[in-house]
Amino acid sequence: MEKSLRNLFIDFIDKNENSDVDSFFKKMLTLAEESQDPAQVHNIIGKEFFSRGYIEQALIHFEQSVKYDSKEKEYLENLGLSYYSLQMIEKAYSYFYRVYKLDVNDLNAVQNLALLSNEMGFHHQSAFYLEKLLIETSEAGSELLNLYINTLYILDPSFVSEDLLLCV
């Protein structure tokens, strides 16, 4: 059975006697009780937990946000960032991919997919997203360009000249 928002807060407050945490979450309880948009409330609470380093608690609230509104890119992205923080790379990738499917021009999603694809060893996918990112913006940065060149080199060394590799 799913715990109510109120019970989740009470459990957390009981475990953390820190007065700063206590006063913040009491305010959040009031907000949650008065709000007409539970997805947004869960997202706000999740961001606060995340900023304080309570990633597992943030994850609970980001999941609730997505449960209430599965098409809000910010909620999906926050969930992806939380999973990434917990080193759950494939789950993080799946949420960034959902953002990308909602908006193929979302450059944050494209960049996250490029980096996670590379981290998971999916170099063809990484090259696809990196190329898209480099085409879409002239401000992609040398770090992404280096990653793109290295990814191409991993895929097929003949794609990359030795001179280009020396620049990386």
CB 114 within 8 A of CB 130: yes
Percent of the chain with pLDDT over 90: 38
Q: Which residues contact 19 (CB under 8 A, 6 or more apart)?
A: none
User: Any idea what the CATH number is for the domain that residue 32 is in?
Assistant: 1.25.40.10
Domain limit, last residue, from 74, 95, 116: 95
Judge whether residue 1 has pLDDT over 50.
no
C-alpha span between 130 and 26 (Å, rounded): 44
Per-residue pLDDT, 4: 59
Residues 153 and 71 in one domain: no
Q: Are residues 69 and 117 in the same domain?
A: no
Residues 80 and 157 placed together within one structural domain of the fold: no
Distance (Å, whole) CA 36 – CA 161: 58
* Residue 112 sits in the same domain as residue 150: yes
- The reply to whether 85 and 111 lie within a common domain is no
The confidence band for 2, taking pLDDT boundaries of 50, 70 and 90, is very low
Number of domains present in the structure of the chain: 2
Residue 63 in tokens: 């999941």
The CA distance from 76 to 140, in Å, is 23
Spatial distance between the Cα atoms of 54 and 20, rounded to a whole number of angstroms: 14
More confident call, 148 vs 93: 93
Contact 148, 131 (CB under 8 A): yes
For residue 113, what pLDDT is reported? Answer: 96
Helix, strand, or coil here: 35? coil
Domain boundary among 47, 75, 95: 95
Residue that terminates a domain, selected from 41, 61, 95: 95
User: Which segment, 89-98, 115-124, 152-161, is predicted with the most confidence on average?
Assistant: 89-98
Q: What integer pLDDT is reported at residue 22 of this predicted model?
A: 62
Q: Does residue 131 sit in the same domain as residue 89?
A: no
**Residues 36 and 62 reside in one and the same domain:** yes
Q: What is the pLDDT of residues 33-64, one digit of tens each?
A: 677 788 888 898 898 889 889 999 999 999 99
At 108, the pLDDT band (50, 70, 90 cuts) reads: very high
What amino acid is encoded at 27 in this protein?
Answer: K
Domain extent for 133: 104-168
Determine which helix (DSSP H) or strand (DSSP E) holds 78, and give its type and residue range: helix 73-85
Q: Give residue 162's pLDDT band: very low, low, confident or very high (50, 70, 90).
A: low
